[in-house]
Amino acid sequence: MRDALIDLGEVPSGGPGETETALPRAPLPYRWILGLLTALLVVLLGGGGPPPQPPPGPVVLPITLGDGIRTGDGRLYVIGQAEPIGTVIRTYAIQAYDLPAVTPAGVYRVTVSGDVFSVVDAGDGLLLVSYNDNESATLGLMAVRPGGGAPVWRRAANLFGISADHAMALVQEESLPGRPENHNVWRALDPRTGQVRWSVEQPVDGQLTMAPGFYSAGFPPRFYVVHGDGRVVTHDALTGAPVGGVRLPRPLAEDSVIWVAGGLLLAGYGDDETIAYDALTLTERWRADGGILPEEGYAQSCEPMVCVAAIVQGLTGFDPATGRRLWRSAGYDSSEVIDGHVLIARASQSEPALAVLDPSTGRTTEVPGFWTSGGPGPSPGTAWVYRLQAVGYELRYGVLDLATGRVRLLGHAEWITGDCRFTTGVLICRRADSTVAVWRL
């Protein structure tokens, strides 16, 4: 697979897409004065060098429409179309590229009876590949090395995350798939060998929960097993051992919701009552009448508040010390915490919209234009953003200042169809001809 550099029309940050206004020519007798003044200004401003050049064009990977892309752990993965087409057992070639240089880092070949949907770097050249196993109607997980041959190990498991040091992977398995007595089992595996470090069964009438931040961190410090009768047991995620517990005042019901956010374990009983416990000690902190946790939403820490996002109610800020509602921002249904700011969006609407929310006051600063967040930016207090227009498939990308709500435009390109993501100093997007463009930022 070859790389090529193609200029898609990026422009300098001084005014992408804008044309300079032509100035009338100065009268001939004064041209020498203008020239002298220009030279003097160049010296005073410390100039004298060549004008700034436009940013380089992207690296273009000539993949096909049937190929998929995944990112993570400083890598880009291109999952080739399965072969042979139309068969149950198929082989995928996965090409890995190190970012931001976009240099080849090995080709992995896996043979499964389904579709590959995620890949995770496990260190030392090892790759964890998750897939749908159509033969057993379960999820599968295997560890492979570059080249080919048999997997290092394989299990019927769903991968949830891997620790930063690649020493432990968290998975969920079914005890007896397809049987009435089947239940979920959570395990920690050694990614190098597939051996089980610990196992914890999830109650059939209960649930297992952890802080939402786990999904970005890769591996939680602890998790909570909630039984149907109201018992809650805290487990250390490194050892799987129980380290604390409490009994809720009543059993779980159909409208019960359990969340971990802002240093609290929150137990909601529909519109009746919400109880908060300290996430470390499980001592009760407060009780509040009415429902705080909607069934269709989620809670997250947005210090110094606890934020609850819901499709109908919007975003609500609660005081974690008392449970008192302090503000509500209607119309926004998703949120992302970046450097003490909350970037909120209208994700369920046809046209994207962004605003920056101050969690202390609930005040919002609208971001002009139909921008989409790309996550934490290149420096503290910033976020990557992009805007994709259907007409002409025009892409614009830049950096959002979270303090002011202003976007500094970095460049633009045409014939971009989507699947854009920022990661490890690059922007990756799919083009109209199915190829993938990678801009080094």
pLDDT at 284: 96
Cβ within 8 Å of residue 12, ≥6 positions away: 52, 53, 54, 55
pLDDT at 53: 57
Quote the pTM value. 0.81
What is the sign, positive or negative, of the torsion defined by CA atoms of 405, 409, 410, 411? positive
In whole angstroms, what is the distance from residue 20 CA to residue 263 CA? 54
Question: What does the H/E/C string look like for the chain?
Answer: CCCEECCCCCCCCCCCCCCCCCCCCCCHHHHHHHHHHHHHHHHHCCCCCCCCCCCCCCEEECCCCCCEEEEECCEEEEECCCECCCCCCEEEEEEEEECCCCEEEEEEEEEECCCEEEEEEEECCEEEEEEEECCCCEEEEEEECCCCCCCCEEECCEEEEECCCCCCEEEEEECCCCCCCCCEEEEEECCCCCCEEEEEECCCCCEEECCCCHHHHCCCCEEEEECCCCEEEEEECCCCCEEEEEECCCCCCCCEEEEEECCEEEEEECCCEEEEEECCCCCEEEEEECCCCCCCCEEEEECCEEEEEECCCEEEEECCCCCCEEEEECCCCEEEEECCEEEEECCCCCCCCEEEECCCCCCEEEECCCCEEEEECCCCCEEEEEEEECHHHEEEEEEEECCCCEEEEEEEECCEEEEEEEECCEEEEEECCCCEEEEEC
In whole angstroms, what is the distance from residue 55 CA to residue 50 CA? 15
Cis amide bond preceding 12, omega within 30: no
pLDDT at 240: 94
- Tokens 């956010």 locate to 261
- In tens digits, what is the pLDDT along the chain, a chain of 441 residues? 434 333 333 333 344 433 333 333 334 444 434 444 444 333 444 444 455 555 678 999 999 988 999 998 899 999 998 888 777 888 999 999 999 999 999 999 999 988 998 999 999 999 999 998 887 778 999 999 998 789 999 999 999 889 988 999 999 998 777 677 778 999 999 999 999 999 999 998 999 998 877 665 578 899 999 999 999 999 999 999 999 999 999 999 988 989 999 999 999 988 889 999 999 999 999 999 887 877 677 888 988 999 988 877 788 999 999 999 999 988 887 888 998 899 998 876 777 889 999 999 999 999 998 999 999 999 999 999 999 987 789 999 999 999 999 999 999 999 999 899 999 999 999 999 999 999 999
The alpha carbon torsion through 82, 104, 106, 163 (nearest 10 deg) reads: -100
pLDDT at 23: 33
Closest C-alpha among 421, 414, 437 to residue 372:
421
Cβ within 8 Å of residue 185, ≥6 positions away: 172, 173, 174, 175, 199, 200, 201, 202
pLDDT at 192: 96
pLDDT at 216: 56
pLDDT at 46: 44
